Each structure stands twice: as structure tokens, then as C-alpha cells.
Amino acid sequence: MQNKIYINQDFFTQVDLTPFYTLQGQSKRGYSGNGKVKGEFIPQKFDDFIGQEDSKEIAHTIIKGVKLNEYLHFMIDSKPGMGKTSMCNLIAKELNAEFIYTIGKQIENDEDISNIVNRINNSEKEVVLFIDELDTMEPKVLKIFNSIVQSFKYNDVDIKPFLFASATINKDEIINSNPDMLNRIHIHMRFENYSQEEMIKILQINCKEQYPNYKVVEEVLQKISLNCKYNPRIGLSLLKQYIIVQDVDKVFKNNGIIKDGLTKKDILILQVLAKATKPRGANVVASGAGLKEKEYCRIYEPYLYEYGYIDRVPSRIILDKGREILSKIGGIKLWKKKSKFILLIVHRQNLISEAQNR
């Protein structure tokens, strides 16, 4: 099987998930060649998993259930980079179970499903099957998993009982395509936003485990924690870059971070809405910022909405906090040239919309 390369759209990095993809027998994480490669730090016990206290409590209930032969299938719903895979991996470790990882869109046909079933039935351990990005699975394939999860059967073949885990950043798409699957999942977890204090602890643990020969001063950790959108994946990427260049301001510049974690694209989005004379749909906002609508909705809007920069009513408007950040960075002056371009796009979109409504 060819390597599975997943594009982490929320922070524009490539992550090789082949070591996770165990359906063909790759059970070890990390590079197995002759060179030395420093992989990311993965919590090995729940004490090292910072934050998400309610979800960790639920995880202990799930673990206890499996030990009593009661399989509480679960789903984790959150933004990308919040630790969903790490949580599922910890549950598998506590159970001394085989952890089978795949992504929804990688399960395409009967052969793929049969590979999973055979892997489960041939395992001598408990099995945790984790399907990440469940919303990307084709609806017709997802429906097949209804009976697999509920009755442990596939094409009249019995499947050894296993724990089904899944994750999504777009639960509403599953609600629309296959709500029956959600009814067969016993526990639904929602990861909460991390606090600055939690982000600093995450960074400190990674410094200790990954970079013991580097001294990272508290001031740098504070700056990273305030400029990573309170997202562990982004924060750890910024930390890794800081270890290399030893200049946190240069790291922010390289990543287009302007202030409080907001990037140039975030600022462009706020500029579009600041110039709008009425609420705008996602497609208009995305077009004005030079984004695809899905990219805008998945990557940028959740943070801007959750942290009070914009609102959805249901169309998008900028809030006082959004205008305030534009004022702090120079607003119109800083983005004058780009603003003219944005206004032209928005004006063109308005003309198209008006023509369609006639």
C-alpha cells in the first residue's frame, strides 16, 4: 500500500500517517530506517494529557466498560489539532489493545472493509478501531458500518467485539448523511477550547520531553501560547520552529501571524466584513479573502466565531472585537492595497447576487 499523506489544512503542514495506518501490518509509529528522526511527543499516560478533564473522565468510563465486556463506542468532535488521536491512543494503551488507525475517506470499498474485519478478527488483543475524519467517508460506505458497529457483523461474518472510536470536525455532515450512525455511537465527546495556562503546560511538557538540551524561557512560551489560537498542534509547530531559529518574532513573521494568533488571512476576512454594508454569506466572505468556501468554513471561521471576532446571524458580520483588532494593527492603512482588491471582489459578488435575485 502506498504511503498515506494527509494535508493538515489548518496549519498547512504535511504529516505522513503511514506509521499509524496499521491495516497492512505497520504497527510501529515512526521512521524505521537508519537515520534518527525526532517524532512528535505523544502522551503515554493521562497525566501527560493536559486539559479536557471532562473527556478524560469519560475515557475512564469507556476503559472500565471494555474490561467488563461492555463496548461503549464513542466519537470526539472538535477542531483540528486538539488531541483527538492522542486521546484515542491513550485509551488503547490503557487497555493494552491493538490500535488500528485509518481515515474515513481511505475506506472506499468491500476490500478495505474486509481488511479491517480480518485485522480485528486476527488480533490476539482487544482492538480499538479509530476512524478519523469520519465525515469524509462516503455515505454508502458509512451505512455499512451501522451494522458493523451495532451487531459486530459484516456480510454474515461475525466480528470479534471491538471498541469503535471516531473523530470529526464536521459532525453536521454526518447528521445530514447518516444520522443512524450517530445513534449507534454511545458516547459523544466535545473537546473544549484550551486555556492559555493549559497551552503553556503542553509546551512545557514538550520542551522537557523533546528538547531537553534547549532552554526555552518562560517569556517565549507565553508568546507562543497567546499566538497559537489555543490549538496544541499549532503551538507545538511554532515551538519546533522556535527551537530551530531561536527568534520567536521571526517565527510569527514566517507564519504570517499578526497579533493574538490572527494571521494575514484572518485579518483579510475581518477586512471584508468591516467593509461590508450588510451581513455576508460564507461564499462571499471566502471569495473576498481569496479562499474556497469550504476552506474558510473549516479552517478560519470557527476560531473567529468562537472567540468573538465575528458572528453568524446566519450571515456573517464583524463584531466590536474584530473592529478593535483592526484598529490596533492599523486597520485600513496596513491593508490598503489588499482592501481595494477585496472591495472589487465583494462588489462583483454583489452584482452577481442581485442579478440572480431579479
Q: What is the mean pLDDT of the chain?
A: 85
Burial class (CB in 10 A: 0-12, 13-18, 19+), 253: exposed
Q: Assess contact for 309 and 321: CB atoms under 8 A.
A: yes
Q: pLDDT confidence of 172, banded at 50, 70, 90? A: confident
DSSP assignment of 253-278 equals: HHTTEEETTEEHHHHHHHHHHHH-SS
For the stretch 174-203, pLDDT in tens is 888 888 899 999 999 999 999 999 999 999
Of 49, 5, 21, which Cα lies nearest the Cα of 130? 21
Q: Which CATH class is domain 262-357?
A: mainly alpha
Tabulate helix, strand, coil % of the chain (nearest 5).
55, 15, 35
In this predicted model, what pLDDT tens digit does every residue of 195-244 receive, in sequence order?
Answer: 999 999 999 999 999 999 988 999 999 999 999 999 999 999 999 999 99
Average pLDDT over residues 252-262: 95
Task: Report the Cα–Cα distance between both ends of the chain, in Å, rounded.
Answer: 53
Fold match between domain 5-30+39-190 and domain 262-357: no
Q: Tally helices (H) and strands (E) across the chain.
A: 17, 13
Q: Are strands 157-158 and 153-154 parallel, antiparallel or unpaired?
A: antiparallel
Domain ranges of the chain: 5-30+39-190, 196-255, 262-357
**DSSP code for 313:** S
Q: Which tens digits make up the pLDDT trace of 269-303?
A: 999 999 999 999 999 999 999 999 989 988 999 99
pLDDT for 31 beyond 70: no
Lowest mean pLDDT segment, chosen from 90-94, 158-162, 265-269, 344-348: 344-348
Task: Just give the CATH number of 5-30+39-190.
Answer: 3.40.50.300
Pairing label, strands 127-132, 163-168: parallel
Residue 36's pLDDT is 46
